[in-house]
Structure 1
């Protein structure tokens, strides 16, 4: 089989599945992974695909900053399932941090607090959503408001966090990449998220399967700093294996 024939098969598999894995292609085409990587590099240079960790995809792996309104329409069913699972982890008389993002906002809508609940949040819509409960005490962080996410970031918000410690952080992300870790589209938000991790006993990431293999501008942290990822059944199998191999608990909702 020559390179042209390999490229045709690679592109066909990509059209069928949306993403492909170097190891799987090597076995199917009976060539080395080095050869497959060279093929993918050439096809990327021709703008026919995007290379990712261990494979390739049709979608640009570099995330862009979208508005909350636009993001809420994407993977809404998956986000609802993830949100419901995350909300079930909130215990009576808990003290938690909820970061920004549409999946954590969906989680806020699923919270039915037992006893008293203290919530620290950077997201205005999360605060408004939880304000309807009389037994929820909300600490809204202050700072520079990001119009795209309706959430705050910056040194003032980070300074406020220094006075608190919470049992759990529920964190939304824009990208999860094996090499680069967890990311968001904003450098300021990434820095605030790191502060949130520092003052939380446990970090739980809420991310639908489209976030895997993608990178945002601002790096939040590596996998060693998170405890659990809640995602949907479409998580790529190689990513699931990678995460579990690094000791990250992955909860899959269906």
Structure 2
């Protein structure tokens, strides 16, 4: 087969099983390991597949974001590592935005020792965690209630954001990749995320590698619009290279055996 035929066959096989190892593809196509790797690289650059350790999976469309209760039990170790690494970016006297999400909620205990901090959030769980922290000024955006994710969204929340100046905006996302950027299945989330990006001196996407390669209908931002992407160290090397090629700083958080997170 010529290269285009091989790549079409790889896509056909992935549509049947979603994930294949490099060995399975070499056997199915009767070609070398390096040939399969090159074909995967070409397909990945076009946004149709994504590398995983030892293989490749089909790029996946996210039609509905998981509910908050579902997210709380997924990838807990990596979330803890990312939360600690993200909190290390915050210093005294800052104004920071914490987007809705379980990883950003996990930053809160690490922020309680900061002095003269102002936290802006659209997340009701984050708000509840900070009610007793009288040393921190807390601003909730208000806005339309997203029941599934316990947060505020829409133009009213965005309107509050646009009245503020923020040192660092920490954004969350359930779907992101190099070719399609940060996306969401819910249009009402776009306004507040875009507003946070617009008013922040620095923007940081905090999102796990298990969400990389997923994409949804509504685009929030290209990865090149972000200053930093903070994810876990399970991110494939090909994805890391694609992110750095877009000029965005990449921070990989890892969890040590003693439970401490490093970047």
TM-score (norm 2): 0.79
Report the secondary structure of 1:100's partner residue. coil
With over 3 angstroms needed to count, the CA separation of the structure-2 counterparts of 1:234 and 1:204, relative to structure 1, is: same
Q: Which runs of 4+ in 1 moved over 3 A?
A: 44-51, 53-56, 58-61
Report the secondary structure of 1:133's partner residue. coil
**Could you give the per-residue CA deviations for residues 112-166 of structure 1, whole angstroms, max 9, x where no partner exists?**
3322111111101111112221111111111111011100011111111221111
Structure 1: 5+ residue stretches without partners: 1-30
User: Separation in 2 of the partners of 1:149 and 1:158?
Assistant: 17
Report the secondary structure of 1:109's partner residue. helix
User: Separation in 1 of the partners of 2:12 and 2:63?
Assistant: 23
- The alpha-carbon deviation at position 178 of structure 1 amounts to 1.9
CA contact (8 A) 1:170 1:203 kept: yes
| Correspondence for 1:153 | 153
Q: Do structure 1's residue 96 and structure 2's residue 71 form an aligned pair?
A: no
| Correspondence for 2:175 | 175
| Correspondence for 1:40 | 10
With over 3 angstroms needed to count, the CA separation of the structure-2 counterparts of 1:58 and 1:142, relative to structure 1, is: same
With over 3 angstroms needed to count, the CA separation of the structure-2 counterparts of 1:227 and 1:148, relative to structure 1, is: same
1:119-134 equivalences in 2 (<5 Å): 119-134=119-134
User: Separation in 1 of the partners of 2:66 and 2:177?
Assistant: 19
- The alpha-carbon deviation at position 49 of structure 1 amounts to 4.9
| Correspondence for 1:52 | 49
| Correspondence for 2:205 | 205
1:8-23 equivalences in 2 (<5 Å): none
The alignment yields a C-alpha RMSD, in angstroms, of 2.1
Report the secondary structure of 2:107's partner residue. helix
Report the secondary structure of 1:114's partner residue. coil
CA contact (8 A) 1:176 1:213 kept: yes
CA contact (8 A) 2:86 2:107 kept: yes
Report the secondary structure of 2:243's partner residue. helix
With over 3 angstroms needed to count, the CA separation of the structure-2 counterparts of 1:237 and 1:208, relative to structure 1, is: same
User: Separation in 1 of the partners of 2:74 and 2:122?
Assistant: 22
User: Separation in 1 of the partners of 2:128 and 2:18?
Assistant: 44
Report the number of matched residues: 224
CA contact (8 A) 1:53 1:177 kept: no
CA contact (8 A) 1:154 1:192 kept: yes
TM-score (norm 1): 0.81
User: Separation in 1 of the partners of 2:210 and 2:182?
Assistant: 13
1:184-203 equivalences in 2 (<5 Å): 184-203=184-203
Structure 2: 5+ residue stretches without partners: 21-47, 255-263
| Structure 1 range deviating more: 228-237 or 38-47 | 38-47
User: Separation in 2 of the partners of 1:63 and 1:82?
Assistant: 25
